Chain A
Amino acid sequence: MVSLYISGPSWAHRLPAAVKLVFLCLITLLLFPLDQWWQQAIGLAAVLGFYGSLGKKGLKALKVLKNLLWMLSFIFLIHLAFTSWEDGIVISLRLVTLVLLANFLSITTKMDDLMDAIEPLFRPLSVFGVTSKKIALAVALVIRFVPMLMAVFMSLQEAYRARTGKGSSMRLLAPFVIHALKLADEVAEALTARGGADGYENTASR
């Protein structure tokens, strides 16, 4: 699994993650209420400038907009039909700017750095037994489980194709979940055998 992060050095990579998070919140709060199209256009131009400052890789990262296109045209059409096209333009510009800005943080910040930056926010949770080590273990497990689940599904699909000649079916979902749950049970047993989530905490000392 590939994270959105683009390796770098750049001015944005050098900024600490916490600073970037605070800036993101501030700029979002500032930009949200502006209702003139030229104000939003300036915001968008600035964010596009950020991407441009990363060079070619940065411009390539603008392809995230592709995912937004369908929603955006839909929202614009509703505005066109029910409110006004001016509103449609201001709001479309604002959406693109805010999404690109938040995404800019994601592409210039390593996952680990981001996690370290927000780690203090989790500290109160340790009252409920949710330690940051446990969260880190859960994160690692998900990252490992996703490709594993994909592999389980692919093998079921292959067998189904061999039997029926058809590509795939919703019928595969139940056996898929059962197969995968058995694997999860094994992982839980293995974790306990190695001292459990808390044992992990002791052995993986920093």
Chain B
Amino acid sequence: MGQDKALVQIAFYAALIAALGLLPAVAIPFVSGVPITAQTLGVMLAGVMLGPLRGGLAVLLVLFLTALGLPLLAGGRGGLGVFMGPSAGFLIGWFFGAITTGYIMQLMKNQSVLVSAAIASIVGGIGVVYALGIPGLSVMAGLPLDKAALGSAVYLPGDLVKAAIAAVVAQTVARGMPSALHSRS
């Protein structure tokens, strides 16, 4: 049972990440004029809810399916082309970001869900994702690192909003369905 459940959970959060990118209804209002989607919210939630191993695998599954040709990324993007595009580094960052997020959740076991999920989402879902995404943008777009960082900064306000939402959602879910918070069990 344990293994089946893990498999289903990984697939489930992978689907959640995809669905959050496809739902136009949850698109977060434009911040600083850059269109953003809730997709990275799914990445944060996967780490927060599932912990490092399963959370990381859920992200990996999304990337794998995308590479196989399914249009799972926001705006219906998919296929191998996205891994050749300017944001390839961010996609790889999702994987390590989810792992870090899950790891921090485990480290902060004794803190409140809201606080630890917020910190974990910011460090993992933003810090780690940008730490890989910016050098990736720099290589793919031939830009100096500081200019690539400047270009990525426009997404920062939106990502902070998403970290806050991830924390609130995690807390609400933990209250309504405590068994769903696997990163702590």
Contacts and interface: CB of A to CB of B under 8 A. Distances in A.
> Do A and B come together as binding partners?
yes
Interface of A: 1-5, 24, 28, 64, 67-68, 70-72, 74-75, 78-79, 82-83, 87, 90-91, 94-95, 98-103, 105-107, 109, 111, 114-115, 129, 134-135, 137-139, 141-143, 145-146, 148-150, 153, 157, 167-168, 170, 172-175, 177-178, 180-182, 184-185, 187-188, 191-192, 196-198
Q: Is the interface of A mostly helix, strand, loop or mixed?
A: helix
B78 A149 contact: no
Contacts of B131: none
A102 B81 contact: yes
Given A184-B12, A197-B4, A174 B173 contact: yes
B105 interface: no
Given A102-B81, A115-B68, A138-B61, A71 B86 contact: yes
A174 B143 CA distance: 39
25 contacts: A3-B70, A3-B78, A4-B69, A5-B69, A71-B85, A78-B143, A95-B140, A98-B84, A111-B69, A134-B7, A138-B7, A139-B68, A146-B22, A150-B19, A153-B19, A178-B176, A180-B12, A181-B12, A184-B8, A188-B5, A188-B7, A188-B8, A191-B4, A192-B4, A198-B3
A111 B19 CA distance: 20
A197 B4 CA distance: 6
Nearest to B80: A102
B65 interface: yes
Contacts of A106: 69, 78-81
Q: Is the interface of B mostly helix, strand, loop or mixed?
A: helix
A142 B180 contact: no
Contact of A196 (B3, B71, B78, B140): B3
Contact of B7 (A137, A178, A180): A137
Given A79-B142, A142-B14, A174-B172, 12 more contacts: A64-B81, A72-B86, A75-B141, A82-B147, A95-B141, A102-B79, A138-B14, A141-B11, A145-B11, A181-B12, A192-B1, A197-B3
Chain B contact-residue range equals 35 or more
Nearest to B165: A170
B85 A91 contact: no
